Structure 1
Amino acid sequence: MGHIDPYGLFQPTTALVTRRSLLVKVPPPARSWPTPAQLRAARGALGLSLPDVARLTGLGLNTLKRAEQSGLAVVTPANADRIVSTLHGLGVTFLDDDGAGPGLRFKAD
């Protein structure tokens, strides 16, 4: 079982590993969420205010403020998916740290 993440990749919810007839539950791999700075930069690149993002995502201002201050780990996975997929749908691609730091790519109109 699993789900498709905002980047179109399958993310397993859990995995079972068999070893000499023992079933061991293995947690899903660590997820690479955008950093708070990436979230703020994405919003800025789109020219959106926090209330604009709240309206587009259907989430509360406090939820978005927490995500931009402390990261997506402090909000529910469903809300994190909603934020990332909304920004992705508006043309933002989040880039993982490649040694030079995390970033984003903005698809202009």
Structure 2
Amino acid sequence: MQAVQCRMARAALGLGVRELAEMAMVAPATISRLERGEELKPRTVEAIRAALEAAGVIFIDENGEGPGARLRKDR
């Protein structure tokens, strides 16, 4: 998950930094660091990604048009 994908996913869900941090059980500063593009431990990124996916986000890999995120239809 790239920084831009995290920002997109949060926006799509209407979540603030604090809300996502609570869902992923990390500090709000950790979310901010990720979204600034700072390197985090892989397990921390995975916890954030898992929280977003559980909330209904699908991450789209780089496909020539850039990475992305969207919401599941059944959300």
TM score, norm. by length of structure 1 = 0.63
The structure that has the greater radius of gyration is 1
**Which of 1 and 2 has higher RCO (CA within 8 Å, sep 6+)?**
2
Unaligned runs of 5+ in 2: none
- Pairing of 1:46-61 with structure 2 (within 5 A): 46-61=13-28
Q: Which runs of 4+ in 1 moved over 6 A?
A: none
Do structure 1's residue 66 and structure 2's residue 33 form an aligned pair? yes
Q: Which of the two has greater strand per residue? A: 1
Q: Which of the two has greater helix per residue? A: 2
Unaligned runs of 5+ in 1: 1-33
Aligned to 1:43: 10
Identity %: 32
Paired residues in the alignment total: 74
Alpha-carbon RMSD across the aligned residues, in angstroms, is 1.2
TM score, norm. by length of structure 2 = 0.89
